[in-house]
Amino acid sequence: MSHNTLLVFELTILVLAIFLGFEVISKVPTLLHTPLMSGTNAIHGIVLVGAMIVLAQPHKDAFEWVVGFLGVVLGSANVVGGFVVTDRMLEMFKKREPAKAPDARSDGGTSAE
Amino acid sequence: MSTNLANLLYLIPIVAFILALRFLSNPAHARRGNQIGAAGMLVAIVVTWIKAGSASWWAIVIGMAIGGGFGAVAARRVKMTAMPQMVALFNGVGGGAAALIALAELHRILPEPGRPKIDIALAIALSGLIGAISFAGSMVAFAKLQELIRGRPITYPGQKFGNLALLAVCVGLSVTLVSGVQDEWLLWVVIGGAALFGVLFVLPIGGADMPVVISLLNAFTGLAVAIGGFELENNVLIVAGMLVGASGTLLTLLMGRAMNRSIANVLFGAFGQVSAAAAAAAAGDGGTVRSANAEDVAVMLAYAHKVVFVPGYGLAVAQAQHDVRQLADLLEEKGVEVSYAIHPVAGRMPGHMNVLLAEANVPYPQLKEMDDANPEFSRTDVALVVGANDVVNPDARTNEGSPIYGMPILNVDDAQAVVVLKRSMNPGFAGIENPLFYNPKTVMLFGDAKESIDKLIEDVKTL
């Protein structure tokens, strides 16, 4: 495929992604805005894939080594940290825990936290 | 693996990311969505691994171990109250990675014969520029939220002009870079200048406006990553990055709307500067502040029919979310109807209060958004304001001179009585005087929010 054809395809999916992004996000309630931000934060960790491509390039000089390596480090921190933080947040959203609630109340006062 | 096969397989992470965002529309299956997203990310990494071949695989493994290890440990250890700075930090490193990719790509293509293609050069300049702003800006936001530097606006003379000039220089150099002067040092200057701009641009933004800034920087990183996809001709980067870019932009606009302020005003207004004059004016028409002790407030709460908690950033600072939940449970046992009124910009991150209260196992149907909460205040006996200030400031409705005039607020003064838990009479983060404290309906319970709530719990128990 010629470079220009590819570019046009890429621009097309870029524009579609913009509208898709708006569409999907507008359905998220404010209740979940923090996990949403944190979750999208994890998704842009896809930058790790770009850093991997840079570092996997054959015939690198020292500069590309260093930059690619740093990119992989930062990208992995983004991916792992982002998904783990989001998971921790979402784990907490519960409707009501019927079994646990009563005894949480009875011992709640004597031992705070 | 051929490029076509790789691109075909990249459809898996793309669909996974879209599903992840889709599932976030309901708290019941949001967590599943996040797991689908993570699984999609894993597929993307494996596909890239196979496609890119085995060159320097060990360096990739070491880099992933270092970065992933740091990310996992930091994300596991962080307290829920410190979540906003964690999000800022992870956002920043993503932007930094995008800028690094731009540097590496330019370095790689420059020695090749012929001029680099103009779209590739443009993508390199843009992702370097935006990625660097996002990296540096997020780091400053992190430092502010972590209180490594002070949260109040930091300004210097000629700030707006200086920032604008700096940005113009960076953009000008980017244009030079794209239009044919392809020296590597140009990109270094662009990235350096953009990083400086990122720092200068976040420094003057006050703590209360952090939700908007973090959300905007999130959009920037997404955009930088999407543009990075053009450099590397990689679809999954383009789609995933742009989804984040679009979602961050939308969230930023929603935040701005919730405060009834334009994004430009938030970013360049150095909000909170006005404090001195406004505070002096308000102090003049003073009125008296009624302070109460915990026993009095406990009686008010225990004999109320309906109590609404109004949490703010002070709740996060005092880490009082578990105590609030205990108090609420106690009141419910006594037959009091309890709910929570959440302002969209309470805290330092969109939805910050929801996460904190969820951590304390508050069932989410009890968390009311502003539009649902406001009509309820007129039939509320006690509105208990825990560490919130600007979001309950009636000046936003009535005082045209107030910097927050026009911002929709929670109308706690419609309730029969208002109890404000506050450390002292110091103005809030935005530095604005709050006439609610002088309202005859209002009593103040001074002290650390956590200690005050604990005292209330003790006293309500004895009733």
> Residues B237-271, buried b or exposed e (16+ Cβ, 10 A)?
bbbbbbbbbbbbbbbbbbbbebbebebeebbbbbb
More confident residue, B150 or A35: A35
Please list every residue in chain B whose beta carbon sits closer than 8 Å to the beta carbon of residue A39: 20-21, 24, 33-34, 37
Within 8 A of B226 by CB-CB distance, chain A residues are 14, 17
Mean pLDDT, rounded, for B146-162 = 78
Which residue did the predictor score with more confidence, B296 or A48?
A: A48
**Nearest alpha carbon to residue B138 among B87, B188, B71:** B87
Tokens of residue B5, six digits: 């096969």
More confident residue, B348 or B384: B384
ipTM of the complex: 0.85
Per-residue model confidence (pLDDT) at position B278: 44
Instruction: Dig out the tokens for B457 from the structure.
Output: 């719990």
- State the DSSP string of A87-112: HHHHHH--S--TTHHHHHHHHHTTS-
Of the candidates B322, B324, B135, B109, the one whose C-alpha atom is nearest the C-alpha of residue B221 is B135
pLDDT at residue B274 above 60? Answer: no
Cα–Cα distance measured from residue B249 to residue B92, given in angstroms and rounded to the nearest whole number:
16
pLDDT band at residue B170 using 50, 70 and 90 as cut-offs: very high
In chain B, residues with a C-beta closer than 8 Å to the C-beta of A106 are none
Which H or E run includes B427? none
Q: Whole-prediction pTM value? A: 0.82
Instruction: Please state, in angstroms and rounded to a whole number, the distance separating the CA atoms of residues B452 and B437.
Output: 17
Q: Is the pLDDT of residue B365 over 50?
A: yes
CB atoms within 10 A of CB B22: 17
List C-alpha distances in Å: B38 to A66, B224, B429: 27, 21, 36
Please state, in angstroms and rounded to a whole number, the distance separating the CA atoms of residues B119 and A22.
26
Above 50 in pLDDT, residue B105? yes
* Nearest-angstrom CA–CA distance, B413 and B416: 8
| Whether pLDDT at B281 is above 70 | no
| Closest B-chain CA to A96 | B363
Q: Which residues pair with B341 in a beta bridge?
A: B368
> What's the alpha-carbon Rg for chain A, to the nearest Å?
22
**Taking CB atoms and an 8 Å limit, are A90 and B250 in contact across chains?**
no
* B390 a catalytic residue: yes
* Residue ranges in B310-443 assigned as alpha helix (H): 313-318, 321-333, 352-359, 370-373, 395-398
Between chain A and chain B, how many beta carbons pairs sit less than 8 Å apart? 395
Statement: residue B275 has pLDDT above 50 = no
Dihedral sign (CA B124, B126, B127, B128): positive
Write out the DSSP string of A39-80.
HHHHHGGGHHHHHHHHHT-SS--HHHHHHHHHHHHHHHHHHH
Cβ-in-10-Å burial (0-12, 13-18, 19+) of A81 comes to buried
B441, exposed or middle or buried, with CB in 10 Å at 0-12, 13-18, 19+? middle
Question: Looking at A93-107, B93-107, B285-299, which range is the least confident one?
Answer: A93-107
d(CA B262, CA B265): 5
In angstroms, the separation between the Cα of residue A101 and the nearest Cα of chain B is 9
Q: Which of B209, B323, B390, B395 is catalytic?
A: B390
Pick from B26, B32, B54, B56 the residue to mutate for testing the A interface (most A CBs within 10 Å).
Answer: B56
Mean pLDDT of chain B: 87
